[in-house]
Structure 1
Amino acid sequence: MNTVKNCMDDAGVLLAKNARKSGIPKSTFYQFVQKNQMERLAHGIYLSPESWEDTAYVLHLRCPQAVFSHDEALYYHDLVDREPMQPTLTIYSGYNTQKLTASGIKVYTVKKELLPIGKETITNAFGHEIPMYDLERTICDLVRSRSHFDFQDFQSALRRYAARKDKDLNRLMEYARLFRVQNVVRNYLEVLLG
């Protein structure tokens, strides 16, 4: 049974796929899960009872191709004050998002080649690394999806971005061209930076 324990990460998360890769029989794995009263968080993902659940990390494990975006990224980059009501991810078009949306996750899709644009790895409050879009990609996503945002939040996020010292306007315009929102972004920035 010690071999199963070796498959658990520092956060107390145990993945069935890691146990399979280590050659641990299913019966041994499930005996360990039951004996240690591990909580099933999602298909193939279990948490030890003495650990805190990091929902963002678990979501990343459930869907490793997805990137935290929109509301999540706006909050992380301090462009809005309100914590997101529900997790927000971006995944490539054609990915079956049914299970994600059924579990209350807001999902946006993009062409597969646009998914990695602006993707970075951040360390969240629990100390886990998760993928999130950078500041400039977040602004492009905000502009592209502006009809989904409250107008005051939209304006506030753009104002905060314009006031930041760490903004990269060249990168922003490069991303804006890729997402075909360069004219809209330019118009907003001219007003805010004017």
Structure 2
Amino acid sequence: MLSANQLHTLAEQNKGVLQTAQALKLGVAKKSFYDFIKTNEFEQVAHGIYLAPEAWADSLYFLHLRSTQAVFSHETALYFHDLADREPLQYTVTVKTGYNPSKLTADGIKVYSIKSELHAMGLTQMETNFGHMVPCYDMERTICDVLRSRNGMEIQTIQNALRAYVKHKDKNLRQLTHYAKALRVEKILQPYLEVLL
């Protein structure tokens, strides 16, 4: 059966994850898709997202699939870039202003919003522990975001992140200054850099 083969291939390519929308786009009939899910004992992990029984549950990747415009930022991005000493207690994402974050916040995700023209600045891809690629801000954008949101974060987290960034071999101070100007945190960043550099 063609659709079953297609779905097996699709699940393999996506490390055991199948999405209803993706399968329908390939031309698989809805009934065939749900029959395949049931027969192969896939588990529903979110609306329209199913996981093979032998696959690892990757909550960061599932979050990305549920909300494709959400970009991992702040504490979660610090963790991705090894600028934090521990995994964050809750995931943090940034969305465009006007996006309704109620479903994300109901699931315990901390959501920041920013003007749409600044949303893609510093956007990169990072690999989760389970090998999926997800959108995340680069180190420089993350440092600026942390400074912008400093009132809602632990001072220790900010200081540790800045110390780790300054020691990082891949740091780009020119890019950091450019982002700091665009995000209006230049005056806050300057004293930190003077002390640390």
| TM-score (normalised: structure 1) | 0.93
Find the counterpart in structure 2 of residue 5 from structure 1: 8
Is residue 72 of structure 1 aligned with residue 76 of structure 2?
yes
Q: Say which SS state the counterpart of residue 104 (structure 1) adopts.
A: coil
Tell me the percent identity. 51
Find the counterpart in structure 1 of residue 121 from structure 2: 117
Question: How far apart are residue 191 of structure 1 and its match?
Answer: 2.2
Superposition pairs of residues 7-86 of structure 1, within 5 angstroms? 7-8=10-11, 9-86=13-90
User: How many residue pairs get matched?
Assistant: 193
Question: How far apart are residue 6 of structure 1 and its match?
Answer: 3.5
Instruction: Note if contact 2:42-2:53 (Cα within 8 Å) is conserved in structure 1.
Output: yes
Q: Say which SS state the counterpart of residue 109 (structure 1) adopts.
A: strand
CA RMSD of aligned residues (A): 1.4
Instruction: Note if contact 1:7-1:15 (Cα within 8 Å) is conserved in structure 2.
Output: no
| TM-score (normalised: structure 2) | 0.92
Q: Say which SS state the counterpart of residue 10 (structure 2) adopts.
A: coil
Q: Specify the code of the residue in structure 2 equivalent to 1:136.
A: E
Superposition pairs of residues 147-186 of structure 1, within 5 angstroms? 147-186=151-190
Question: How far apart are residue 59 of structure 1 and its match?
Answer: 1.2
Is residue 146 of structure 1 aligned with residue 150 of structure 2?
yes
Counterpart CA distance in 1 for 2:168 and 2:36 is 50
Is residue 189 of structure 1 aligned with residue 193 of structure 2?
yes
Counterpart CA distance in 2 for 1:123 and 1:135 is 14
Counterpart CA distance in 2 for 1:66 and 1:101 is 12
Instruction: Note if contact 1:71-1:88 (Cα within 8 Å) is conserved in structure 2.
Output: yes
Question: How far apart are residue 170 of structure 1 and its match?
Answer: 1.0
Instruction: Note if contact 1:91-1:110 (Cα within 8 Å) is conserved in structure 2.
Output: yes
Question: How far apart are residue 105 of structure 1 and its match?
Answer: 1.1
Is residue 134 of structure 1 aligned with residue 116 of structure 2?
no
Counterpart CA distance in 2 for 1:3 and 1:74 is 38
Q: Specify the code of the residue in structure 2 equivalent to 1:31.
A: D
Counterpart CA distance in 1 for 2:167 and 2:117 is 31
